[in-house]
């Protein structure tokens, strides 16, 4: 049974529940029941393919309202999709097929539901449901990420046995999970007491004025973290190395080049931060000697001596205050969990976000990570392939949980 807090009430909120043509369309019936029980005014909009799975009469009976499906209703005096889009407090698409998501992300409006979405300025939540291979297809992930960049929210599908017989991520999230997602996001500023320091991007260690060693980190993870955590009320400061992504001017950012630069900036005002998230991909080695002039070819082999850089995360663990939360990131190709467990212990972390960068279409410069969340108590959560915005939401949830444990 879903418990509702009075301050999270959906009473009298106008919700459009969009149903597309997938086998899990029947679960939308339970979604209608949960929303109406909370006091929401629900109107169902269906695609023609959705009607092959659940009848319009079923949704009309459950919602108590006329079901919308016809783009050109002769009985309507107003332009229906504009009127509907303007009046909605929330549009929830449950389930959303790969076809529907792809059309929406590319601005195609060939049915009533898509027209409503393209005309609305209201909050939009999408609940994907499809075969695991379709969900993990780079084309679908690119379309999901594009919509997320525009502010569309996604409820990640569940993993398990799918209707097609496959096992994996793609099963529509249970109605209770979707309902709690709606309510949780309405609570909003749940991290308002946190002051969070985020490092991101790639450091560069120079050989000479022209050449350096670095890594392919784009800074996408740091950008996603800053957006999500600030949306939940947290104050953030971002210390960034080289980045492909750009932060908006309203973010408090400091740019740096080398590991030494980043270390200096991190420890400037460390005590004022309640949470430190070290997502930067810092270099492990630097050239022992910086050459003032460009090193030129001379027709023979050349050798450069290197030395380890300072371990910023280890130092943070040593100097961490009792009330501070320290979160690290790791990029691994083997022994992902074992290596994460060692880092948790050796560097005094509360949480480590362990990423398997050998997994296709994930890691540096990509929109997704293949992630395991490893906690100080040695619990492991396998998130599989997850978008960086959704991973940021997960990290925000962990921060809230750890804070409660520390209180």
Q: Which residues are catalytic?
A: 164
> Does residue 302 come out as left (phi exceeding 0), alpha (psi in the -120 to 50 range) or beta?
beta
Degrees to nearest 5, angle at CA 141 with 123 and 219: 85
Classify each residue of 105-142 as buried b or exposed e, where b means 16 or more C-beta atoms within 10 Å of its C-beta.
beeebebbbbbbbebbebbbbbbbbbbbebbbeeebbe
Grouping H, G, I as helix, E, B as strand and the rest as coil, residue 267 is coil
Rounded to an integer, what distance in angstroms lies between the CA atom of residue 310 and that of residue 315? 9
| 381-393 burial: b if 16+ Cβ within 10 Å, else e | eebbbbbbbbbbb
Q: What are phi and psi of 253, to 5 degrees?
A: -120, 150
- Three-state SS string over 188-256 comes to CCCCCCCEEEEEECECCEECCCCCEECCCCCCHHHHHHHHHHHHCCCEEEEEECECCCCCCCCCCEEEC
Give the number of other CB atoms < 10 A from CB of residue 223. 26
Cβ distance 28 to 1 under 8 Å? no
Which strand (E) or helix (H) includes residue 67?
A: none
- What residues contact residue 25 under an 8 Å CB cut-off, 6+ apart? 19, 50, 53, 54, 95
């Amino acid at each position: 049974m879903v418990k509702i807090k009075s301050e999270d009430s959906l009473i009298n909120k106008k919700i459009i529940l969009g149903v597309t043509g997938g086998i899990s369309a029947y679960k939308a019936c339970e979604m209608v029941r949960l929303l109406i029980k909370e006091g929401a005014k629900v109107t169902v909009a269906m695609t023609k393919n959705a009607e092959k799975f659940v009848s319009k009469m079923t949704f009309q009976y459950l919602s108590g309202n006329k079901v919308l499906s016809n783009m050109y209703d002769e009985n309507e005096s107003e332009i229906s999709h504009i009127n509907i889009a303007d009046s909605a407090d929330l549009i929830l698409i449950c389930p959303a097929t790969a076809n529907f998501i792809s059309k929406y992300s590319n601005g195609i409006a060939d049915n009533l539901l898509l027209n409503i979405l393209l005309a609305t300025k209201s909050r939009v939540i999408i609940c994907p449901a499809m075969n695991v291979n379709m969900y993990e297809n780079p084309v679908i992930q690119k379309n999901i990420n594009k919509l997320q960049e525009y502010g569309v929210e996604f409820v990640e599908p569940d993993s398990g046995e799918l209707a097609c017989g496959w096992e994996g991520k793609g099963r529509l999230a249970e109605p209770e999970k979707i309902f709690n997602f709606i309510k949780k996001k309405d609570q909003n500023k749940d991290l308002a007491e946190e002051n969070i320091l985020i490092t991101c991007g790639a450091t560069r260690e120079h050989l000479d004025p022209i050449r350096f060693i670095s890594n392919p980190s784009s800074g996408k993870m740091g950008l996603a973290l800053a957006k999500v955590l600030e949306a939940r009320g947290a104050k953030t400061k971002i210390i960034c190395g080289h980045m492909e992504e750009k932060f908006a001017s309203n973010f408090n950012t400091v740019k740096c080049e080398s590991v030494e630069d980043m270390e200096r900036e991190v420890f400037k005002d460390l005590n004022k931060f309640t949470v430190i998230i070290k997502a930067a991909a810092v270099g492990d080695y630097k050239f022992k000697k910086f050459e003032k002039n460009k090193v030129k070819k001379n027709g023979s082999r050349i050798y450069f001596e290197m030395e380890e850089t300072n371990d910023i995360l280890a130092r943070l663990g040593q100097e961490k205050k009792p009330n501070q939360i320290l979160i690290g990131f790791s990029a691994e190709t083997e022994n992902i969990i074992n290596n994460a467990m060692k880092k948790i212990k050796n560097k005094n972390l509360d949480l480590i976000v362990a990423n398997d960068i050998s997994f296709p279409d994930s890691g540096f410069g990509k929109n997704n990570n293949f992630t395991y969340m490893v906690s100080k108590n040695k619990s492991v959560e396998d998130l599989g392939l997850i978008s960086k915005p959704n991973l940021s939401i997960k990290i925000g949830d962990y921060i809230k949980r750890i804070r409660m444990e520390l209180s």
